[in-house]
């Protein structure tokens, strides 16, 4: 009886292939879903990193602009101000004044570093008494 059962079971296994195509289809579909899902995850991570870099870079140029204005304020109070290092939020700025004392015109150059994102700006200014005006502004690459 056991011999008959084995022959019957094995012969049915060999002749019944209806589920084999479905199994292969499910495996292929699962692999495809896995590839698409992992691709979407990597794209999302890349977009988040790009967004963070854009945000940090924007904060760095904003800090550079603030540092230029701070330097202008200090020059309006004391024309012998020669620059230095200051912090604006999370960014650190290095200010350099081209001519000290800045009696009629000079250039303010600022480097701003916000968590590794560095932006540079330069402003030519004119000084008349305690009035300080920007004559040109540029972002330096």
pLDDT band at 5 (very low <50, low <70, confident <90, very high): low
What local confidence, expressed as pLDDT, does residue 125 receive? 96
The answer to whether 53 touches 119, Cβ cutoff 8 Å, is no
Q: Note whether residue 55 is domain-resident.
A: yes
The answer to whether 126 touches 132, Cβ cutoff 8 Å, is yes
| Antiparallel, parallel or unpaired: β 105-114 and 117-128 | antiparallel
pLDDT in tens, 78-124: 999 999 999 998 899 999 999 888 888 999 999 999 989 999 999 99
CATH number at residue 102: 3.30.1300
Does 54 have pLDDT greater than 70?
yes
Name the residue range of residue 109's domain. 39-140
Q: Note whether residue 20 is domain-resident.
A: no
pTM of the model: 0.68
Q: Note whether residue 123 is domain-resident.
A: yes
User: Based on the structure, what is the number of domains in the chain?
Assistant: 1
């Amino acid at each position: 009886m056991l011999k008959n059962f084995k022959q019957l079971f094995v012969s049915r296994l060999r002749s019944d292939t209806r589920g084999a195509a479905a199994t292969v289809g499910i495996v292929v579909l699962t692999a495809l879903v896995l590839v698409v899902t992992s691709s979407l995850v990597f794209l999302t991570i890349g977009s988040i990193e790009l967004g963070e870099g854009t945000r940090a870079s924007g904060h760095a140029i904003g800090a550079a602009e603030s540092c230029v204005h701070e330097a202008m304020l200090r020059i309006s109070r004391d024309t012998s101000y020669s620059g230095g290092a200051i912090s604006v939020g999370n960014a650190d700025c290095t200010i350099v004044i081209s001519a000290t004392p800045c009696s009629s015109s000079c250039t303010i150059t600022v480097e701003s570093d916000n968590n590794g994102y560095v932006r540079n700006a330069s402003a030519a200014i004119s000084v008349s008494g305690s009035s300080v005006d920007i004559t040109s502004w540029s972002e330096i690459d």
